[in-house]
Amino acid sequence: MGEQIREIFEQSGGTYGSPRVQRALVERGFAVSRRRVERLMRGAGLRARVVRIYRSNPGLHRFFGQHPNRLWRRQAQEPDQVWVGDVTYLRVGGRWHFLAVVMDQCSRRLLGWSLGRVRNGKLAQAAFDRAAARRRPGRGLIFHSDRGSEYAGAAFRDRLRRLGVRQSMTRGGSPADNAHMESFFHSLKADVVHGRVFTDERQLRRCLRNYVRYYNHHRLHSSLEYRTPVEYEREVA
Protein backbone atom coordinates (compact mmCIF):
# COMPACT_ATOMS: atom_id res chain seq x y z
CA MET A 1 0.00 0.00 0.00
CA GLY A 2 2.95 2.30 0.59
CA GLU A 3 3.68 2.41 -3.13
CA GLN A 4 0.04 3.30 -3.88
CA ILE A 5 0.14 6.11 -1.33
CA ARG A 6 3.35 7.53 -2.77
CA GLU A 7 1.96 7.30 -6.32
CA ILE A 8 -1.23 9.17 -5.37
CA PHE A 9 0.75 11.76 -3.43
CA GLU A 10 3.21 12.40 -6.27
CA GLN A 11 0.47 12.55 -8.92
CA SER A 12 -1.19 15.28 -6.86
CA GLY A 13 1.99 17.33 -7.06
CA GLY A 14 2.51 16.92 -3.34
CA THR A 15 -0.79 18.63 -2.50
CA TYR A 16 -2.77 15.66 -1.14
CA GLY A 17 -2.95 15.18 2.60
CA SER A 18 -4.13 12.00 4.32
CA PRO A 19 -7.90 12.66 3.80
CA ARG A 20 -7.61 12.96 0.02
CA VAL A 21 -5.07 10.14 -0.25
CA GLN A 22 -7.42 7.91 1.77
CA ARG A 23 -10.30 8.82 -0.55
CA ALA A 24 -8.21 7.97 -3.59
CA LEU A 25 -7.20 4.63 -2.06
CA VAL A 26 -10.82 3.76 -1.36
CA GLU A 27 -11.66 4.55 -5.00
CA ARG A 28 -8.92 2.09 -5.96
CA GLY A 29 -10.53 -0.60 -3.85
CA PHE A 30 -8.47 -0.41 -0.63
CA ALA A 31 -10.27 -0.72 2.71
CA VAL A 32 -8.13 1.60 4.80
CA SER A 33 -8.83 4.18 7.47
CA ARG A 34 -7.68 7.76 7.40
CA ARG A 35 -5.62 7.21 10.57
CA ARG A 36 -3.67 4.39 8.97
CA VAL A 37 -3.00 6.47 5.86
CA GLU A 38 -1.85 9.31 8.08
CA ARG A 39 0.59 7.00 9.91
CA LEU A 40 1.96 5.57 6.67
CA MET A 41 2.41 9.00 5.13
CA ARG A 42 4.14 10.29 8.23
CA GLY A 43 6.47 7.28 8.25
CA ALA A 44 7.32 7.86 4.58
CA GLY A 45 7.93 11.56 5.11
CA LEU A 46 5.03 12.60 2.87
CA ARG A 47 3.51 15.88 3.93
CA ALA A 48 1.14 17.93 1.79
CA ARG A 49 2.04 21.46 0.80
CA VAL A 50 -0.58 23.70 2.38
CA VAL A 51 -0.92 27.43 1.96
CA ARG A 52 -4.03 28.73 3.66
CA ILE A 53 -5.02 32.31 4.31
CA TYR A 54 -8.22 32.76 6.21
CA ARG A 55 -10.02 35.90 7.23
CA SER A 56 -13.36 35.81 8.94
CA ASN A 57 -16.15 37.04 6.68
CA PRO A 58 -19.63 36.78 8.21
CA GLY A 59 -21.28 37.91 4.97
CA LEU A 60 -19.61 35.12 3.05
CA HIS A 61 -20.73 32.53 5.62
CA ARG A 62 -24.31 33.78 5.36
CA PHE A 63 -24.17 33.55 1.56
CA PHE A 64 -22.94 29.97 1.50
CA GLY A 65 -25.32 29.09 4.31
CA GLN A 66 -28.07 29.33 1.67
CA HIS A 67 -26.55 26.24 0.04
CA PRO A 68 -25.60 23.76 2.76
CA ASN A 69 -23.68 20.58 2.16
CA ARG A 70 -26.62 18.22 1.58
CA LEU A 71 -24.28 15.28 1.01
CA TRP A 72 -22.77 15.27 4.48
CA ARG A 73 -22.82 11.55 5.35
CA ARG A 74 -25.20 10.85 2.50
CA GLN A 75 -24.81 8.60 -0.53
CA ALA A 76 -27.30 8.35 -3.40
CA GLN A 77 -29.00 4.96 -3.60
CA GLU A 78 -30.34 5.33 -7.15
CA PRO A 79 -29.36 7.25 -10.30
CA ASP A 80 -30.61 10.83 -10.67
CA GLN A 81 -30.91 11.44 -6.95
CA VAL A 82 -27.59 13.28 -6.65
CA TRP A 83 -25.41 14.83 -9.33
CA VAL A 84 -21.97 16.25 -8.65
CA GLY A 85 -20.01 18.77 -10.69
CA ASP A 86 -16.61 20.40 -10.81
CA VAL A 87 -14.17 22.22 -13.10
CA THR A 88 -10.54 21.41 -13.90
CA TYR A 89 -7.93 22.90 -16.22
CA LEU A 90 -6.16 21.36 -19.22
CA ARG A 91 -3.38 22.83 -21.35
CA VAL A 92 -3.84 23.21 -25.11
CA GLY A 93 -1.09 24.71 -27.25
CA GLY A 94 0.46 26.58 -24.32
CA ARG A 95 -2.86 27.96 -23.10
CA TRP A 96 -5.17 26.80 -20.32
CA HIS A 97 -8.64 25.51 -21.14
CA PHE A 98 -11.28 24.63 -18.57
CA LEU A 99 -13.40 21.49 -18.41
CA ALA A 100 -16.71 21.43 -16.50
CA VAL A 101 -18.24 18.00 -15.83
CA VAL A 102 -21.46 16.66 -14.31
CA MET A 103 -21.56 13.12 -12.90
CA ASP A 104 -24.25 10.94 -11.36
CA GLN A 105 -23.02 10.22 -7.84
CA CYS A 106 -24.67 6.82 -7.59
CA SER A 107 -23.56 5.25 -10.88
CA ARG A 108 -20.45 7.40 -11.54
CA ARG A 109 -21.80 7.95 -15.05
CA LEU A 110 -20.64 11.13 -16.78
CA LEU A 111 -23.76 12.99 -17.87
CA GLY A 112 -22.51 16.21 -19.43
CA TRP A 113 -19.35 18.21 -20.02
CA SER A 114 -18.28 21.54 -21.48
CA LEU A 115 -14.88 22.84 -22.56
CA GLY A 116 -13.97 26.52 -22.82
CA ARG A 117 -11.23 29.10 -22.48
CA VAL A 118 -12.94 30.95 -19.64
CA ARG A 119 -13.90 29.52 -16.27
CA ASN A 120 -17.30 31.02 -15.51
CA GLY A 121 -20.96 30.31 -14.89
CA LYS A 122 -21.72 29.81 -18.57
CA LEU A 123 -19.24 26.96 -18.74
CA ALA A 124 -20.72 25.24 -15.68
CA GLN A 125 -24.29 25.77 -16.87
CA ALA A 126 -23.52 24.36 -20.33
CA ALA A 127 -22.33 21.10 -18.75
CA PHE A 128 -25.37 20.96 -16.47
CA ASP A 129 -27.82 21.73 -19.29
CA ARG A 130 -26.41 18.90 -21.39
CA ALA A 131 -26.87 16.51 -18.49
CA ALA A 132 -30.41 17.78 -17.87
CA ALA A 133 -31.38 17.46 -21.54
CA ARG A 134 -30.12 13.88 -21.61
CA ARG A 135 -31.64 12.70 -18.31
CA ARG A 136 -34.62 15.01 -17.67
CA PRO A 137 -34.40 14.57 -13.87
CA GLY A 138 -37.39 15.04 -11.60
CA ARG A 139 -37.74 17.85 -9.10
CA GLY A 140 -35.82 17.30 -5.90
CA LEU A 141 -32.53 16.32 -7.53
CA ILE A 142 -29.50 17.46 -5.50
CA PHE A 143 -26.64 19.09 -7.39
CA HIS A 144 -23.40 19.22 -5.40
CA SER A 145 -20.25 21.20 -6.18
CA ASP A 146 -17.46 23.10 -4.53
CA ARG A 147 -17.75 26.79 -3.67
CA GLY A 148 -16.40 28.06 -6.97
CA SER A 149 -17.84 31.31 -8.29
CA GLU A 150 -19.08 29.53 -11.43
CA TYR A 151 -21.55 27.59 -9.26
CA ALA A 152 -22.33 30.37 -6.79
CA GLY A 153 -23.32 32.92 -9.46
CA ALA A 154 -26.92 34.10 -9.70
CA ALA A 155 -27.51 32.77 -13.22
CA PHE A 156 -26.48 29.23 -12.30
CA ARG A 157 -28.41 29.26 -9.03
CA ASP A 158 -31.54 30.54 -10.79
CA ARG A 159 -31.25 27.82 -13.42
CA LEU A 160 -31.25 25.12 -10.74
CA ARG A 161 -34.12 26.75 -8.90
CA ARG A 162 -36.29 26.83 -12.02
CA LEU A 163 -35.76 23.10 -12.50
CA GLY A 164 -36.54 22.30 -8.88
CA VAL A 165 -32.95 21.24 -8.18
CA ARG A 166 -31.63 21.63 -4.64
CA GLN A 167 -28.13 23.10 -4.58
CA SER A 168 -25.44 21.73 -2.30
CA MET A 169 -21.90 22.96 -1.72
CA THR A 170 -18.83 21.65 0.08
CA ARG A 171 -17.88 22.90 3.49
CA GLY A 172 -15.15 25.52 3.58
CA GLY A 173 -11.70 23.97 3.36
CA SER A 174 -13.04 20.47 2.63
CA PRO A 175 -12.26 19.57 -1.00
CA ALA A 176 -12.68 15.86 -0.18
CA ASP A 177 -16.43 16.51 0.16
CA ASN A 178 -16.52 16.28 -3.65
CA ALA A 179 -14.37 13.17 -3.84
CA HIS A 180 -16.22 11.60 -6.78
CA MET A 181 -15.25 14.45 -9.09
CA GLU A 182 -11.73 14.58 -7.67
CA SER A 183 -11.39 10.89 -8.47
CA PHE A 184 -12.65 11.32 -12.03
CA PHE A 185 -10.28 14.18 -12.80
CA HIS A 186 -7.43 12.13 -11.38
CA SER A 187 -8.36 9.21 -13.64
CA LEU A 188 -8.76 11.44 -16.70
CA LYS A 189 -5.37 13.06 -16.28
CA ALA A 190 -3.57 9.86 -15.37
CA ASP A 191 -5.13 7.87 -18.22
CA VAL A 192 -4.99 10.25 -21.19
CA VAL A 193 -3.66 13.72 -20.31
CA HIS A 194 -0.35 13.42 -18.48
CA GLY A 195 2.56 13.09 -20.87
CA ARG A 196 0.50 14.15 -23.88
CA VAL A 197 0.63 17.44 -25.76
CA PHE A 198 -2.57 18.82 -27.32
CA THR A 199 -1.82 21.23 -30.12
CA ASP A 200 -5.37 22.51 -30.64
CA GLU A 201 -8.78 22.44 -29.02
CA ARG A 202 -10.27 20.08 -31.59
CA GLN A 203 -7.70 17.44 -30.68
CA LEU A 204 -8.54 17.78 -26.99
CA ARG A 205 -12.29 17.59 -27.63
CA ARG A 206 -11.84 14.39 -29.60
CA CYS A 207 -9.80 12.92 -26.76
CA LEU A 208 -12.45 13.90 -24.19
CA ARG A 209 -15.31 12.44 -26.22
CA ASN A 210 -13.47 9.13 -26.55
CA TYR A 211 -12.55 9.06 -22.87
CA VAL A 212 -16.07 9.83 -21.67
CA ARG A 213 -17.38 6.99 -23.81
CA TYR A 214 -14.70 4.67 -22.44
CA TYR A 215 -15.31 5.77 -18.85
CA ASN A 216 -19.07 5.19 -19.06
CA HIS A 217 -19.13 2.00 -21.11
CA HIS A 218 -15.86 0.17 -20.50
CA ARG A 219 -13.97 1.32 -17.40
CA LEU A 220 -14.49 -1.00 -14.43
CA HIS A 221 -15.13 0.76 -11.11
CA SER A 222 -14.19 -0.92 -7.87
CA SER A 223 -16.84 1.13 -6.06
CA LEU A 224 -19.44 -0.44 -8.39
CA GLU A 225 -18.14 -3.96 -7.73
CA TYR A 226 -16.11 -3.81 -10.93
CA ARG A 227 -18.96 -2.88 -13.23
CA THR A 228 -19.10 0.02 -15.65
CA PRO A 229 -21.46 2.94 -14.94
CA VAL A 230 -23.73 1.92 -17.81
CA GLU A 231 -23.88 -1.68 -16.59
CA TYR A 232 -24.61 -0.55 -13.06
CA GLU A 233 -27.49 1.69 -14.15
CA ARG A 234 -28.93 -1.11 -16.29
CA GLU A 235 -28.92 -3.47 -13.30
CA VAL A 236 -30.48 -1.06 -10.79
CA ALA A 237 -33.10 0.33 -13.20
The domain spans of the chain are 2-44, 77-236
**Which of the four pLDDT bands, split at 50, 70 and 90, describes residue 63?**
very low
Rounded mean pLDDT, 102-111: 96
3-state SS string over the chain?
A: CHHHHHHHHHHCCCCCCHHHHHHHHHHCCCCCCHHHHHHHHHHHCCCCCCCCCCCCCHHHHHHHHCCCCCCCCCCCCCCCCEEEEEEEEEEECCEEEEEEEEEECCCCCEEEEEEECCCCHHHHHHHHHHHHHHHCCCCCCEEEECCCHHHHCHHHHHHHHHCCCEEEECCCCCHHHHHHHHHHHHHHHHHHHCCCCCCCHHHHHHHHHHHHHHHHHCCCEHHHCCECHHHHHHHHC
Q: Distance between CA 119 and CA 190 in Å, rounded?
A: 22
Rounded mean pLDDT, 41-61: 59
Q: How much is the pLDDT for 155?
A: 94
| pLDDT greater than 50 at residue 61 | no
pLDDT tens, position by position, 14-38: 667 888 788 888 878 888 888 898 9
Q: Distance between CA 163 and CA 167 in Å, rounded?
A: 11
Rounded mean pLDDT, 56-68: 48
Residues in Cβ contact with 21 at an 8 Å cutoff, skipping those fewer than 6 apart: 5, 8, 9, 12, 37, 41
| pLDDT greater than 50 at residue 51 | no
pLDDT tens, position by position, 173-191: 555 567 889 889 998 998 8
pLDDT tens, position by position, 143-155: 999 888 899 999 9
Rounded mean pLDDT, 87-97: 92
Top-tier CATH class for 77-236: alpha beta
pTM: 0.70
Q: How much is the pLDDT for 29?
A: 81
| pLDDT greater than 50 at residue 116 | yes
| pLDDT greater than 60 at residue 60 | no
Q: How much is the pLDDT for 24?
A: 83
- Tell me which long-range contacts 207-213 makes (C-beta under 8 A, separation of at least 24): 208/99, 208/113, 208/115, 212/110, 212/113
Q: Of 232, 230, 129, 127, which is closest to residue 181 (Cα–Cα)?
A: 127
Q: Of 50, 48, 6, which is closest to residue 25 (Cα–Cα)?
A: 6
Percent of the chain with pLDDT over 90: 51
Q: How much is the pLDDT for 177?
A: 66
| pLDDT greater than 90 at residue 163 | yes
* More confident site: 100 or 170: 100
Q: How much is the pLDDT for 53?
A: 36
Q: What is the mean pLDDT of the chain?
A: 85
**Which of the four pLDDT bands, split at 50, 70 and 90, describes residue 135?**
very high
